[in-house]
Amino acid sequence: NAGVTQTPKFRILKIGQSMTLQCTQDMNHNYMYWYRQDPGMGLKLIYYSVGAGITDKGEVPNGYNVSRSTTEDFPLRLELAAPSQTSVYFCASSLDTYSNQPQHFGDGTRLSIL
Amino acid sequence: KNEVEQSPQNLTAQEGEFITINCSYSVGISALHWLQQHPGGGIVSLFMLSSGKKKHGRLIATINIQEKHSSLHITASHPRDSAVYICAVRRGYGGSQGNLIFGKGTKLSVKP
């Protein structure tokens, strides 16, 4: 079982460039999430999805976009990279949000904007 | 004030010591998670609690809903337990209420 797979693991972008962080899961989970983790801070929710075709904003959505065309994939798009978006990004998935099922995390993408 | 507070922020222990990490929260919750973040960055779920106590190997997690407090205990600590331990709460069920609110984490270092 691959679980949650994120690519790339590392990336350096120049200010103003765009890129897509890829996330795929093979557990047939309905819920998927994108978080960012900044030094000394807790994980912050960027966007989440409750199923294919349905996405919603989290706590820190500005500067990002998402789509969910399939159950498996939940890419995160940065359109105009800014230094404030330097962070470690985690994708996660869960079966639901009302049972005792945990969230499963990818290994993270370390992104630097220079 | 953060909705989820962890203490201590950093903890250094000698191998074999009993370790306690605390988590306090200020909102009503439906469940609380304890997660472990390895030095390489990966995050894994350790426990999900809505009441009482859970045990897995040398790890024990407890929660007191009335006091809005949870503890994670590690017995007979080992250097491989060195990691960041993260507390997260789920406020409700479904929609945005089903999302997690995370503490800042407790960095544990166990010396041989």
**Residues of chain A in Cβ contact (below 8 Å) with chain B:** 31, 33, 40-45, 48, 50, 56, 58, 88, 90, 92, 96-98, 100-105, 107-108, 110
How high is the pLDDT of residue B39?
85
* Distance, CA of A84 to CA of B18 (rounded, Å): 39
Tokens of B35: 């997660």
Contact list in B for residue A29 (CB cut-off 8 A) is none
How high is the pLDDT of residue B1?
67
How high is the pLDDT of residue A1?
65
Instruction: For residues A40-61, give the mean pLDDT.
Output: 95
How high is the pLDDT of residue B96?
82
Contact list in A for residue B4 (CB cut-off 8 A) is 42
CA distances to A38, A108, B106 from A41, rounded to whole Å, are 5, 16, 11
Please tell me which of the candidates B43, B50, B103 has its beta carbon nearest to residue A105. B43
Instruction: For residues A77-101, give the mean pLDDT.
Output: 92
Tokens of B39: 């030095």
Contact list in B for residue A48 (CB cut-off 8 A) is 99
Model confidence at A88: pLDDT above 80:
yes
Model confidence at A53: pLDDT above 90:
yes
Model confidence at A102: pLDDT above 80:
yes
Instruction: For residues A81-90, give the mean pLDDT.
Output: 97
Contact list in B for residue A56 (CB cut-off 8 A) is 95-96
Q: DSSP 3-state assignment of B95?
A: helix
Closest CA to A47 of A28, A64, A30: A64
Model confidence at A108: pLDDT above 90:
yes
The amino acid at B102: F
- Residue B107's DSSP bridge partners are B10, B84
Contact between A88 and B104 using a beta-carbon 8 Å cutoff: no
* Distance, CA of B97 to CA of A108 (rounded, Å): 24
Q: pLDDT digits over B51-93, tens only?
A: 999 999 999 999 999 999 999 999 999 999 999 999 999 988 8
Contact list in A for residue B100 (CB cut-off 8 A) is 43, 45, 103
Please tell me which of the candidates B90, B103, B105 has its beta carbon nearest to residue A97. B90
Distance from CA of A18 to the nearest CA of B (A): 24
Residue A102 is given by DSSP the state: P
Structure-token match 């960055």, residue found: B41
Confidence of residue B21 (pLDDT cuts 50, 70, 90): very high
How high is the pLDDT of residue A18?
96
Spatial contact of A49 and A31, defined as CB atoms under 8 Å apart: yes
Contact between B102 and A98 using a beta-carbon 8 Å cutoff: no
On the question of a cis peptide bond just before residue A8, with omega within 30 degrees of 0, the verdict is yes
Contact between B41 and A107 using a beta-carbon 8 Å cutoff: yes
